[in-house]
Structure 1
Amino acid sequence: MSGKRSYDDPCGVARALDLIGERWALLVVRELVFGPKRFTDLHHGLPTASQNVLSHRLRELLTAGIVRRTSPGSFEYELTERGRGLEPVLIHLARWGSGLPMPAKLVELSIDALMFALKTTFDPAADPELRVRVDLRFGSDRFHAEVADGCLYLARGDGLRPAAVITTEPPTLRSVIFGSRDPADARASGELVVEGDVVAADRFVGVFRPGHWIGKPAAAMPK
């Protein structure tokens, strides 16, 4: 990637960081894990990144073969096969980072960051027999989730014959899954609406580990 500084180190870690070590690069990858996004949607998910910086980072990722346009001249981007290979790296990095103090100035998780939090905190042992399909709807943003054989599958868009459709806002879902808020309370307030099998929806939100301090200030973390 011409013009970029290099570690000039043959180690695989250094060579990887030559491509994805710049600020925002891995967060762009995170925002694309669940499917393609237009530039405006990427910027919405990364609001503290300037448009110029985001454009520059996308150009670097395109050159590196990590991201591609969905069609020639399009402003919609998706991960290449090489880019998708970074997902397990991001999952391990997120789990490692979950025990670190929160920044002093907290902002709400982007929708894709929240979905990624589901991937990193999924606990198949919490309900080993669970097999369920659930759609998650946040306004115009939709995801389908499937739990089967001890694995969680998540992707952008509507799913096929979900047992339940959960319609809510990201802060509400975060409070139910990671803040120990009773789903029944969120339903009673109208902040969380379930169409279909309510029991299946409750079992779904119960298969994630809430003990990762997501959204909690640093002062609340154990020493």
Structure 2
Amino acid sequence: MPPQQPRTNARSRRSYDQYCAAARGLDAVGDRWTLLIVRELLAGPRRYTDLHADLPGVSTDVLASRLKDMEQQGLSTRRRLPPPSAAYVYELTGRGRELLPVLQAIAAWGAPALDERRPTDAVRAHWFALPLLRSLAGAGVEGLVQVRLPEGEFHVRVGGDGDSYGEGPAPDAPEVCLALDAETCVAVSRGELTVGEGVRQGRIELSGEGVLAKALLAG
């Protein structure tokens, strides 16, 4: 029997070769680190160095390989910033942004494992955006919320043109600003504590007026 010829297509080597929607999806995003890269890019366009800094543990070779694969799969694109910057950034395509509810579901399923932070755990503030966004969206509120943790800031937008989140300060004036610690943010995300309860217990500082602020305080 002649030896089998090796496949040269990287995508084919990783394919499950199953006519199944779940298998096809995993062909595209099932590799280690891919969905975490999506998590980072859901927060907005990122430079390679920023991605590497916020993905502790990934090697430069693996990160470069995953980004290339994501471009080939139509999940992300790479573009050069206009002058005077000479940097390139990676950003999600519409197809890539459709993975937001997938990551929210995974985050919700994994939330019970956040009972205790291990000494070896890295943490970034915007990593809490995914579960918090899901929690706020489920509460039926709508608007832009700025969130400040000791580890940093992020913002979430619920309702309107669709749910989204970003790292750092909000691009527009937020309707509500929340200040809380990571433990409280996890409790709100898991449905163990509402924003209103957190405010009344002194665990959350809320500033803002209007419909969104009143809705959160009433919770």
Q: Under a length normalisation based on structure 2, what TM-score does the superposition of the two structures give?
A: 0.66
From 21, 29, 32, give the equivalent of 2:38.
29
Q: Under a length normalisation based on structure 1, what TM-score does the superposition of the two structures give?
A: 0.65
Unaligned runs of 5+ in 2: 1-7
Question: Is the aligned partner of 1:81 residue 2:98?
Answer: no
The structural deviation recorded for 1:19 is: 1.9
Q: 1:147 and 1:64, CA in 2 relative to 1: closer, same or farther beyond 3 A?
A: closer
From 149, 163, 180, give the equivalent of 1:153.
163
Question: Which residue in 2 is equivalent to 1:92?
Answer: 105
The count of aligned residue pairs is: 196
Deviations 1:50-80 (A, max 9, x none): 2222122111111221111133884311111
The structural deviation recorded for 1:177 is: 3.1
User: What SS does structure 2 have at the residue aligned with 1:135?
Assistant: strand
Contact in 2 for aligned 1:133/1:146 (Cα 8 Å):
yes
In the alignment, the residues of structure 1 paired with residue 94 and residue 34 of structure 2 have an alpha-carbon distance, to the nearest angstrom, of: 16
Question: Is the aligned partner of 1:122 residue 2:136?
Answer: yes
Question: Which residue in 2 is equivalent to 1:134?
Answer: 145
The structural deviation recorded for 1:14 is: 2.0
CA radius of gyration, larger in: 2
Deviations 1:152-195 (A, max 9, x none): 73332525443333456x636626735859446356xxxx6x55
From 24, 27, 36, give the equivalent of 1:18.
27
Query: 1:34-53, aligned counterparts within 5 Å?
Result: 34-53=43-62
Query: 1:98-117, aligned counterparts within 5 Å?
Result: 98-99=111-112, 105=118, 107-117=121-131
User: What SS does structure 2 have at the residue aligned with 1:22?
Assistant: coil
In the alignment, the residues of structure 2 paired with residue 198 and residue 173 of structure 1 have an alpha-carbon distance, to the nearest angstrom, of: 24
Question: Is the aligned partner of 1:163 residue 2:175?
Answer: yes
CA RMSD for the aligned pairs? 3.9
Q: 1:177 and 1:89, CA in 2 relative to 1: closer, same or farther beyond 3 A?
A: closer
Percent identity between matched residues is: 29
From 4, 10, 17, give the equivalent of 1:3.
10
In the alignment, the residues of structure 2 paired with residue 85 and residue 56 of structure 1 have an alpha-carbon distance, to the nearest angstrom, of: 22
Contact in 2 for aligned 1:177/1:205 (Cα 8 Å):
no
Contact in 1 for aligned 2:56/2:122 (Cα 8 Å):
no
Unaligned runs of 5+ in 1: 208-223
In the alignment, the residues of structure 2 paired with residue 182 and residue 176 of structure 1 have an alpha-carbon distance, to the nearest angstrom, of: 9
User: What SS does structure 2 have at the residue aligned with 1:77?
Assistant: strand
> Which amino acid letter does the alignment assign opposite residue 153 of structure 1?
D
> Which amino acid letter does the alignment assign opposite residue 84 of structure 1?
R
Structure 1: which 4+ aligned runs deviate by more than 6 Å?
Answer: 101-104
In the alignment, the residues of structure 1 paired with residue 92 and residue 116 of structure 2 have an alpha-carbon distance, to the nearest angstrom, of: 28
Question: Which residue in 2 is equivalent to 1:63?
Answer: 72
Contact in 2 for aligned 1:176/1:182 (Cα 8 Å):
no
In the alignment, the residues of structure 2 paired with residue 22 and residue 57 of structure 1 have an alpha-carbon distance, to the nearest angstrom, of: 8
In the alignment, the residues of structure 1 paired with residue 131 and residue 183 of structure 2 have an alpha-carbon distance, to the nearest angstrom, of: 14
Contact in 2 for aligned 1:134/1:164 (Cα 8 Å):
yes
Contact in 1 for aligned 2:45/2:89 (Cα 8 Å):
yes
